[in-house]
Amino acid sequence: MSDSAYASVVLDVDSTLCGVEGIDFLAERRGPKVGAEIAALTDGAMRGEIPLESVYGKRLTIIRPTRADIAALADAYRDTVSPGAPQAIAAMRAEGVQLVLVSGGIRQAIEPVARDLGFAAADLEAVSVIFDANGDYAAFDARSPLTTHHGKCEVVGRLIAERRLPRPVLAVGDGSTDIAMAEAADTFAAYTGFARRDAVIRAAAVEVHSFDELRKRVIPH
């Protein structure tokens, strides 16, 4: 192990690793009325004003994303990777830091950008969507803890218990659902490169504005 400040880093995806809110992107494909309705629900959940579990399934039932919609979202994730993220991720890996992605977003849409950035399938925790034979929306994995407001704490805690995340662990995210990771991780950092939410910043031990700044915190030398 190197002299990195953290042995592991947990990264949120939407508005942290990538500059898109996945569910909002899908909603916008249904027109401005649906887009505005879903954006309001997402914002309320990310601010901690609405429990995520009360809106997760509701949003997908309204949108009913198809395989084609998910493919378009996958492209949007790839097109909006945070500046400096590929270089920072590579630098942290070179120092022996374990990195994982933990997201309440749709797994099939995140997988391509995760692969681009060198994440193995086992290093991505997200919510799977189920399609019918025609590629239309059928359901989502309602068993996933990531569909709940405190689910990320459960997931990070499990990864630590399984020794897939050696301590000390730094968790990084922009929304209220990311705050829950602070209970399991050693440090929680508020990422403000895309969105700035006061409640998240207040709950964080540190604030980082960019992936270059994150890299310097993890690899201080």
pLDDT in tens, 127-150: 999 999 999 999 999 999 999 999
Confidence of residue 2 (pLDDT cuts 50, 70, 90): low
For the chain, the domains span 8-218
SS3 of 47, please? coil
Q: Which of 23, 85, 86, 52 is nearest to 178 (CA)?
A: 52
Q: Which residue has the higher pLDDT, 70 or 149?
A: 70
Range name among 38-47, 64-73, 163-172, 180-189 with the lowest pLDDT average: 38-47
Determine the pLDDT at residue 138. 97
The model's pTM? 0.95
Q: Which 8-state DSSP code applies to residue 124? A: E
Topology classification of domain 8-218: Rossmann fold (3.40.50)
Determine the pLDDT at residue 79. 98
Residues 190 and 208: their CA atoms lie apart, in Å, by 6
Confidence of residue 99 (pLDDT cuts 50, 70, 90): very high
pLDDT digits (tens, 9 = 90+) for 5-29: 999 999 999 999 999 999 999 999 9
